[in-house]
Amino acid sequence: MILVAGSANLDFVVRAQHIPAPGETVLGQDFQTYPGGKGANQAVACARAGGVSTHLLAAFGNDAFATPIEASLQQAQVVLHPVRSAQLATGTAFICVSEQGENAITVAPGANQALRPQHLPPLQGFSHLLLQLETPLESVCAYAQAAQQAGVCVALNAAPAQPLPPALLDALDLLLVNETELACIAGHAGSIVECLQGLQVPSVVVTLGAHGCCALHHGALLFQTAFPITPLDTTGAGDTFCGALCAQLSQGAAMPEALRYASAASALACTRAGAQTSIPEAADVRAFLQQQHSSDSAQHAALAQLRSFCGLPATTTP
């Protein structure tokens, strides 16, 4: 059983030909609202794509924006531990999605800032705690340290990017980052592998978009190439990866197997619109994996490219 503690937002999404540059106005083609927020997205991914019993600690305002988020969580069978703020509105995110599926996101945290250390529910029965950085850092640190003391595996998706205090890093079993977040936390501009090797967290996983992902897991470098897809909307893809990965690990999967499963779930999410609405069912992920057949030469070429991108010789075994 997994506890996710984090943000819940209502996403306001506009599709446009391209993402505006500073000072530029573009005409949008479509507008929709979707349930989102990193915490809520990852909880849905744990439950839906991962098939694991999942609870979510999140804060909401007393407003209509909370209603579709809570409905989405209920539909995914996520058990909600809500905190209500009378002063702050439910968090919102404003997202522009280009025709190529890329996005630009601005978040108004709202009630997410009301999540406090004392709101953490009892940890009995939970194997993993999954955190992000869209809620107060003080609360994230307190939750991680409480879980560490309770013997619960602590995972942090360190997004949005920011330097992390040593006390938080010391409490982590698993750190999940993208390339920008890794460089920010590592504090230098070396290769991906060099940044990984500079961190003392037992397991660090780096998502690399169309290149795939890599991990330094208890001293061993692991690589997972991306599955070929045509993206529609990448919003929520990283959250899907994080939730699916934690769900697999909580069920006893080895890290290479968990990376492959999470990559497949994330790939499927990119082919659908929205954040939580794009997260696939576990049966869909398994079916997708069974359909993957590529030649040995294609796999070797993709792996060589990924290794090179991470800063290793393409043909040398790590």
Please write the tens of the pLDDT for every residue from 254-288. 999 999 999 999 999 999 888 888 999 999 999 99
Nearest to 37 by CA among 65, 77, 7: 7
Rounded CA separation 316/175 (Å): 26
What pLDDT, in 10s, does the model give residues 127-140? Answer: 999 999 999 999 99
What pLDDT, in 10s, does the model give residues 140-163? Answer: 999 999 999 999 999 999 999 999
What pLDDT, in 10s, does the model give residues 2-50? Answer: 999 999 999 999 989 999 889 999 898 889 899 999 999 999 999 999 9
- Domain 2-19+31-310 fold is UDP-N-acetylmuramoyl-L-alanine:D-glutamate ligase (3.40.1190)
Q: What is the pTM of this model?
A: 0.91
Mean per-residue pLDDT for 223-250?
92
DSSP code at position 143: H
Rounded CA separation 35/43 (Å): 12
Mean per-residue pLDDT for 67-81?
96
Active site residues: 239
pLDDT band at 188; cut points 50, 70, 90: confident
What pLDDT, in 10s, does the model give residues 206-217? Answer: 999 989 999 999
CA angle 253, 229, 215 (to 5 degrees): 35
pLDDT band at 305; cut points 50, 70, 90: confident
What pLDDT does residue 55 have? 98
Rounded CA separation 122/302 (Å): 44
pLDDT band at 315; cut points 50, 70, 90: low
What are the domain boundaries of the chain?
2-19+31-310
Rounded CA separation 137/165 (Å): 9
* Residues shown for the chain: 318
Rounded CA separation 232/237 (Å): 11
Longest dimension (CA), the chain: 59
